[in-house]
Chain A
Amino acid sequence: MRPHARSALKIEARFDSLSAIRRFAHEALARLGCREDHADSLVHALDEAATNAVEHGYKGTPGELEITVERNGTELAVRLRDWAPAFDPTGHPPPDLSLPLHARPTGGLGIHLMRSLADEVRYRSVPGGGNEVTLVKWMEAQEGEGAS
């Protein structure tokens, strides 16, 4: 077991980068010994965060996303860094899921899914510009032993 292992990807902030982002994160999590269902959840949460960064952060202007997948002991962290104006998804009000369909605002659903899929979502406004969203899953102590 390698308790401290890290993979990183820098890619253009575009909707057509999303599938490469998901594939990269999935492979990196598998290498770290992440359980398949946990990897699916973290990758989905990352996709929602990256979609938000492209849509609401960069708003169609050119930019970059940096994805880091890291394991520290039993903590698996997927980090998304952008250089867009500050936006804190953890401060976004949760959507009212009890409202009838036509009365629901469509925004906020991605953030809600991101929070539901990860065990913890951390946000940091990066000094000098940009945002960093960290999506965390905690592994069981014996999980992933023997993973290279």
Chain B
Amino acid sequence: MKTWSWRTEKGATILAVEGEVDGNTAPDLEKALLALLLRGSRRVAVDLGRVGYLSSAGLRVLVRAHGEALRLGGALRLFGASNRVRLAFEMANLDKILPLLASRETAEEGW
């Protein structure tokens, strides 16, 4: 798994994730997300479009980072999830709390 991030013109920070997020790689995703929040990014949109697999370890990291962003007065948004990733969110009933947005454009609107 690898991640990279950049700031958009609309003031959001996009974190793109590529690969498989499992019990082995989820700690790296957590570090990347927390590093962005610590550096002051408050509107973080995670691009899941290149994530082929996401286990409960990855779900927990996203939930924790979402909680941390809220605590800091920001928010975490997710977009681009594949059907497989979407299914894991739905089974965990997390899609109601951490909605999976269709596109980056939607994720950047109305923070």
CB within 8 Å of B: which residues of A? 15-16, 18-19, 22, 40, 44, 47-48, 51, 54-55, 97-98, 100-102, 104, 106, 109-110, 112-113, 116-117
Contact = CB atoms under 8 A, between A and B. Distances in A.
B34 interface: no
Nearest to B24: A15
Contacts, number: 61
Contact of B55 (A16, A44, A100, A112): A44
A15 B21 CA distance: 11
Closest 3 pairs between A and B when the two form their complex, measured CB to CB: A97-B93, A15-B24, A110-B56
B31 interface: no
A97 B91 CA distance: 9
Nearest to A99: B93
B59 interface: yes
B66 interface: yes
Given A16-B24, A51-B57, A110-B55, 14 more contacts: A18-B24, A22-B20, A47-B23, A47-B55, A51-B55, A51-B56, A97-B93, A98-B93, A101-B63, A101-B98, A106-B63, A110-B56, A113-B55, A117-B91
A100 B64 CA distance: 13
B22 A97 contact: no
A102 B98 CA distance: 12
A54 B75 CA distance: 32
A104 B24 CA distance: 23
Contacts of A98: 93
B91 A51 contact: no
A48 B22 CA distance: 9
Given A113-B88, A113-B92, A18 B56 contact: no
B93 A47 contact: no
29 contacts: A18-B22, A18-B23, A18-B24, A19-B24, A22-B22, A44-B88, A47-B53, A47-B55, A48-B56, A51-B23, A51-B55, A51-B57, A98-B93, A100-B97, A101-B63, A101-B66, A101-B97, A101-B98, A104-B63, A106-B60, A106-B63, A109-B59, A109-B60, A109-B92, A110-B55, A110-B56, A112-B91, A113-B56, A117-B91
Contacts of B20: 19, 22
Given A47-B22, A109-B92, A102 B67 contact: yes
A55 B23 contact: yes
Contacts of A106: 60, 63-64
